Amino acid sequence: QKEVEQDPGPLSVPEGAIVSLNCTYSNSAFQYFMWYRQYSRKGPELLMYTYSSGNKEDGRFTAQVDKSSKYISLFIRDSQPSDSATYLCALSNSGNTPLVFGKGTRLSVIA
Amino acid sequence: KAGVTQTPRYLIKTRGQQVTLSCSPISGHRSVSWYQQTPGQGLQFLFEYFSETQRNKGNFPGRFSGRQFSNSRSEMNVSTLELGDSALYLCASSLEGKLHEQFFGPGTRLTVL
């Protein structure tokens, strides 16, 4: 079983839709849960991170962590064509341990 | 504040050659990590340097090596290149103890022929 599983998509939604992106993981030691956005031919850009469980909101983006189910989600409200990118989840045990990435979900928001 | 810079952006090499990639972190960031990104395997951690010392290492063969200089700039080297080494090599920097807040450079696209 891979440490982090992420559906590669592609996921295509109309502009204005609510998007749900998810990852599952197997290592219960993970404490930090990150979401990165990567545009074509660019490096990943950190959107937000959550420590331990719970929700975190930043503008149109909401991250959720359910440690009991080993399941994390990123919700994008009022999606825009500029949100079209690959979204990567990343997890780590601590601030000093390397990140383990999901393979990314490719999202297309159609105007 | 300038972001993470990587040079060169594109590189074409042939099998058996070696290559050196360079990374300049964000000013004040002393931790530098390297990743390999391929369509099949995704983003995989290579190694992390902090204060010129390798602190974490991923599961890659010894052909992959790196170093960090006193100004926090880092280089990675791949010797005896194989076709499978073709990938986007990404560098990321962060403050100490903040690997969960890494900032990535644009990457170096390496093609091995």
- B38-53 tens-digit pLDDT: 998 999 999 999 999 9
Q: Is A75 helix (H, G, I), strand (E, B) or coil?
A: strand
What are the pLDDT digits (tens) for A39-90?
998 999 999 999 988 899 999 999 999 999 999 999 999 999 999 999 999 9
Element spanning B92, H or E: strand B87-94
Q: Does B62 touch chain A (CB under 8 A)?
A: no
Q: Tokens 């939604």, residue?
A: A13
- Chain B contact for A55, CB < 8 A? no
pLDDT for res A1:
65
pLDDT, one tens digit per residue, over B55-82 is 999 999 999 999 999 999 999 999 999 9
Chain segment B4-13, per-residue pLDDT in tens: 999 999 999 9
Which residues from chain B sit within 8 angstroms of residue A47, using beta carbons?
none
Separation CA A65–CA A88 (nearest Å): 15
**Residue A68 at interface with chain B, using a CB cutoff of 8 Å:** no
Two structure tokens written together for B48: 């992390």
Tell me which chain A residue has its CA closest to the CA of residue B101: A46
Residue of chain B with shortest Cα separation from A6: B42
Residues of B in contact with A86 (CB under 8 A): none
Report percent pLDDT > 90 for chain B: 96
Compute how many other C-beta atoms are within 10 angstroms of the C-beta atom of residue B21. 21
Task: Give the DSSP letter of residue A59.
Answer: T
Is A101 an 8 Å CB contact of chain B?
yes
Residues A58 and A30: their CA atoms lie apart, in Å, by 22
Beta bridge partners of B60: none
B48 at interface of A, judged by CB pairs closer than 8 A: yes
- Kindly list the residues from chain B whose CB atom is less than 8 angstroms away from the CB atom of residue A99: 33, 45, 99-100, 102
Nearest to B99 among A45, A98, A102 (CB): A98
